[in-house]
Structures are given as structure tokens and as C-alpha cells.
Structure 1
Amino acid sequence: MKKKKIPMRMCVGCKNTKAKKELIRIVRTPDDKLEIDKTGKKSGRGAYICPTQDCLEKALKNKGLEKSLNRSIDDEITEQLKKELMEQEE
């Protein structure tokens, strides 16, 4: 039997490559909203991040999230992402 290929993605915060299921996808939808994609299948431009507060801080500091999503990220969305990451860490 063939081994099933595991899709790998890079975290925009720490730049480590991990399995897609280990990361959280943040997607810019076609109507220009930012959302956390729990299914990994929503349409739109996506960026992957480790499910830790530290990686989110790094991604915001080095503007990796903005570059990946081709959009500026305002404070309201940043707070929402932090809140949802805290819920997922628990």
C-alpha cells in the first residue's frame, strides 16, 4: 500500500513547516473579511499559523500575516484572533 501524502504548510509567525492539520488557517474571504477557518476549506486567500499566542505575535510583528493575506489588519481583528486562539489553546 502507498502511504498517504500529508499536506505541509508554513506558519507565517515562526516559519516552521508543519502538517496542515496542526495549524490554524486564517482566510480573507472574497468579500474582504478575515475569519478563522476551522475546516480549512473556505474559499479565499489563506495564511497558516501555529495555534499559539507567541506565533500570532510574531506574525503581527513581522507583518507576515498582512503580506500573506494582501491586506492590512486592524486592531479589532487582531483582538478577535487573540481571543479565538486563547479559546483553542484551552
Structure 2
Amino acid sequence: MSKKHVPIRSCVVCRTRRPKHELVRIVRRPDGRVELDPEQKKPGRGAYLCPQPSCWKLKAVIPRLQRALRTELDAEARAALAAWTERMQRATPADAGT
């Protein structure tokens, strides 16, 4: 019996390669809107971010996402990313081992 193929994607910030289901997808929809795609099923051009807090620092994320998605992020998309970043930071204990 053969093993099932697991798609591998790279984080646009740190370039770490991981299985697709471990990453968060951000998509530029066909109508041009940029939004989060946690289910990874929306149509459009996608970019992936890993769950590491360092990859969600907006100063680093925004330029790389704009390049990967080939579009400018509007205020609504930036606000959604900021909200998702806050949610990720609350879910992950900061400096748990330190």
C-alpha cells in the first residue's frame, strides 16, 4: 500500500518548507480582495505563513505578502492580518521555556 502524497509549501517570511496543512494560507481572490484562508479552499493566488510568532511581525510580513500575491494590501487586509497576529500570539504562550 502506497503512502498518500502530502503537499509541501514554503513560508513567505522564513522560507521553511512544511506540509501545507501546518501553514496558514492568505489568498488574493479573483476579485482582488486579500483575505485569510484558514480552510485553504478559496480560489485565487495563495501565499503561506508558518505559525512561528517571528513570521507574523507585520513589518516583515506585509512586503513579502505583497510580492507573493502580486498586489498591494489595502487597509482592510492589513487590519485582518493584525487581528490574526494578535490571535496567534494569545494562543501561543510567549517565551514558554524562558
Quickly name the TM-score band, shorter chain normalised: 0.7 to 0.9
Distance 1:53 1:76, change over 3 A: farther
Write out the 4+ residue segments of structure 1 that deviate beyond 6 Å after TM superposition.
Answer: none
- Do the aligned partners of 2:53 and 2:88 also contact (CA within 8 Å) in 1? no
2:61 alignment partner in structure 1: 59
Distance 1:51 1:75, change over 3 A: farther
Q: How many residues align?
A: 88
Structure 2 residue identity aligned to 1:40: Q
Kindly provide the CA deviation profile for residues 15-62 of structure 1, in whole angstroms up to 9, marking residues without a partner as x.
Answer: 1111101100000111111111011111011000112442132333xx
Structure 2 residue identity aligned to 1:32: G
Give, in whole Å, the separation in 2 of the partners of 1:71 and 1:52.
Answer: 24
Normalising by structure 2, report the TM-score.
0.78
Aligned CA-pair RMSD:
1.7
Give, in whole Å, the separation in 2 of the partners of 1:87 and 1:56.
Answer: 11
Normalising by structure 1, report the TM-score.
0.84
- Return 5+ residue gaps in structure 1 as ranges: none
After superposition, where does 1:50-89 map in structure 2 within 5 Å? 50-57=50-57, 58-60=60-62, 63-89=63-89
* SS across alignment from 2:87: helix
2:29 alignment partner in structure 1: 29
Q: Which has the higher contact order (CA 8 A, sep 6+)?
A: 1
Give, in whole Å, the separation in 1 of the partners of 2:34 and 2:72.
Answer: 10
- Return 5+ residue gaps in structure 2 as ranges: 92-98
